[in-house]
Amino acid sequence: MSAAQMRAARALLGLDQRQLAELAGVSLPTIQRMEASEGNVRGVIDTLTKVVEAFERAGVELIGDNATSAGGGRGVRFKEPRPPGTSLS
């Protein structure tokens, strides 16, 4: 999961960082640190798992690069992968 994907999934659900932290059972500073990282989110595997599971419970599917949506629903994904730090304009 990338930091941008995490922010987009949270926005899709209409959650603020504090709400996501509560749903995932992690601290607010942990969510803030994860979302502020560049590229893929790094951290303790247990923490990453809790956040992914919170998104799944809330109904958001995180779709990885070159993957399709098994449920046929919408996910959070860039059209084309971009190197970290590149501008969208």
Model confidence pLDDT, tens digit, residues 39-87 = 888 888 999 999 999 988 888 888 776 666 555 544 564 444 545 555 4
Q: Which domains does the chain have, with CATH numbers?
A: 3-64 (1.10.260.40)
Q: What is the pTM of this model?
A: 0.73
Give kind and range of the element (H or E) at residue 48: helix 45-57
Helices 17-24 and 28-36: angle between axes, nearest 10 degrees: 110
Residues 6+ apart with CB under 8 A from 16: 10
**Enclosing H/E stretch for 76:** strand 75-76
Determine the residue type at 58: A
Determine the Cα–Cα distance for residues 11 and 72; give it in Å rounded to an integer.
20
